[in-house]
Structure 1
């Protein structure tokens, strides 16, 4: 096995002291001449020198490692985007990511936190699949942490800007001449099953934009489970309530899929007869015919923002349209235009 190249090897090759080599390779302030610095860097590159992580940790107290602990993010369809965003920023700062999945087990969550603390990670990213408040987060006060798709007292929170997305969906339909609009998927009042803190925000944005436009919904279908069957039954219901609707807002893409199916069975063409707009931009949205216009959940950007905050950077430097409200960082949901909305 090849011997590890040390600072002493670089010092010998560059004709400098170990202390001087350490100062140069660790980018520490000094009065070392540019010529000597360049000679040391060339020697280190030619020898293939890489820093000793253990020695760096002892010297700086930093492990160059961040923890990502999630409830079920790693096993969902959105995982790759969020993880890609985290890794992209982490790599640019020479940070490694340790990941743990808890599958909603409080015991596994606490065990993962303890394990990461024992490994002396430099910061924590806590990822949630269903946006909610974390009641207790057992993280030392001197270690930075951020929650992605959720909230916790005293910790920075990264959330999709659902209120603005709801407004955009209505504004887009109104800009295309639609006034007779149906909504499919509003949860019934008081329902809590499968609820997340994002759903009320999405609905509030929709309602605010409707009021601003001076409109009311021609028909509504309420549902808690946002799956295809809800869209199918909802489409039939709103057609019965208001046969002259020109557009449907579906609460998510899976509901929109059911809406498409119901319309197809009734001989109703999208968008020639009725336009459809939705939320989330799941993979199926681009394969539906016609392609579904929807507002994308920005999981990659949420991962980027979380890591930037741990690196003490402003997410607005990388992501346009970011808003901050208190300790919440709201990431815009971009409108993905396809072919499901017609101009009247």
Structure 2
């Protein structure tokens, strides 16, 4: 004999247990403004709902409130790569804390952001986020009038609300960290590629170098520089070798990003040089591997998770919908030494 499925508790069940009308219970459980019900009554209703295991019907709530409590999130490789995946965690965490569900759409490297955005808006999402793996300028998709839209890790040519990492201050903090520790003979592997000055390629990297250049110039420092074709470990290995051969007196190197830095570790090992005893190394991004290499890599963290959270807060009205820059905290590990320590002079 088939077992019957237990009946799901209803609003009327909660009202009977709490000794109140269904209308009053609805006001309390849906947090509707303007209710004159006492806090004691509200506590009684919540206790009754908990005792019965009552859960509101999302579909009924959506019809009643005119909202689906669903956010659309369109990604261009964020879900496919380890680099920016923290953004998804931030979006999901913030949405959950606001009682919202997230619908994800992934377009990959060459898919249509506009097409994916339309698919999600057809599902009546309350707002739309677009998250980019690499910060750049895009053309905003055509969206229904009045639908909130926030871009995470990018900008639009139309000037929509967006959230970005504060790369300029990160560049300043990286340069200042070396200067504060007495470094004056400094090299840069991965100097600003010309293509990165195009906002459609990168909306932020040029700011990273502006910040570094400002701080070094204020200190009267002109770093040795070497450009690279790509920011990859094998490129860091090759070009760091060239820089070290051409400038053997360097006490510190700035890597364009962590991938380049990982190659520099290998270049140092190939030359029997020690980090940080023979030269210090500092970078940008804070990849997971940065905490596992030895010594650990000092690097300015890209705040992907924080950007995801802030994007949701902007979308739902908990934060101002205006261009927002989030700090890139400097994560200090063992790859940078102070020249004031006599036990760690070059070649010690």
What TM-score do you get using the length of structure 1 for normalisation? 0.90
What's 1:323 paired with? none
- Mapped to 1, the partners of 2:20 and 2:259 lie a distance apart of 66
User: Which structure 1 residue ranges, 5 or more long, are not aligned?
Assistant: 316-325
Answer with 5-14 or 199-208: which moved more.
5-14
Corresponding residue number in structure 1 for 2:18: 14
Q: Give, in angstroms, the shift of residue 190 of structure 1.
A: 5.0
Q: Which secondary structure does the structure 1 equivalent of 2:104 belong to?
A: strand
Choose from 173, 176, 200 the match for 1:171: 176
- Distance in 2 (CA, whole Å) between partners of 1:191 and 1:48 is 55
Q: Residue 21 of structure 1: CA displacement?
A: 2.1
Larger deviation: 120-129 or 237-246? 237-246
Cα distance change of structure 1 residues 160 and 196 upon mapping to structure 2, 3 Å threshold:
same
Distance in structure 2 (CA, Å) of the matches to 1:234 and 1:52:
60
Superposed, 1:76-155 pairs within 5 Å as 76-107=81-112, 109-152=113-156, 153-155=158-160
CA contact (8 A) 2:190 2:226 kept: yes
Distance 1:252 1:33, change over 3 A: closer
CA 250–3 in structure 1, closer or farther in 2 if over 3 Å, else same: same
Match of 1:260 among 243, 261, 265: 265
Structure 2 unpaired stretches of 5+: 340-348
Contact 1:182 1:245 survives alignment (8 Å): yes
User: How many angstroms apart in 1 are the aligned matches of 2:108 and 2:77?
Assistant: 5
User: Would the aligned equivalents of 1:191 and 1:224 in 2 still touch at CA under 8 Å?
Assistant: no
Structure-2 separation of matches of 1:337 and 1:176: 13
Note the C-alpha offset of 1:6: 1.8
Deviation at 1:33, TM superposition (A): 4.6
1:63 pairs with 61, 68, 71, which one?
Answer: 68
Shift of 1:45: 2.3
Shift of 1:209: 1.1
What's the counterpart of residue 232 of structure 1?
237
One of 337, 341, 344 as aligned partner of 1:342: 337
Q: TM-score, normalization: structure 2?
A: 0.89
**Count of paired positions:** 332
3-state SS, counterpart of residue 306 of structure 1: helix
Are the counterparts in 1 of residues 233 and 263 from structure 2 also a CA contact under 8 Å? yes
Q: Deviations over 1:42-97 (max 9, x none)?
A: 33222222111111111111111111110100011134421221122112111111
How far off its partner does 1:290 sit? 1.3
Determine the structure 2 residue equivalent to 1:4: 8
Task: Give the Cα–Cα distance (whole angstroms) in 2 for the partners of residues 294 and 180 of structure 1.
Answer: 19
Report if the CA contact (8 A) 1:186-1:224 is conserved.
Answer: no
Q: CA deviation at 1:144?
A: 1.0
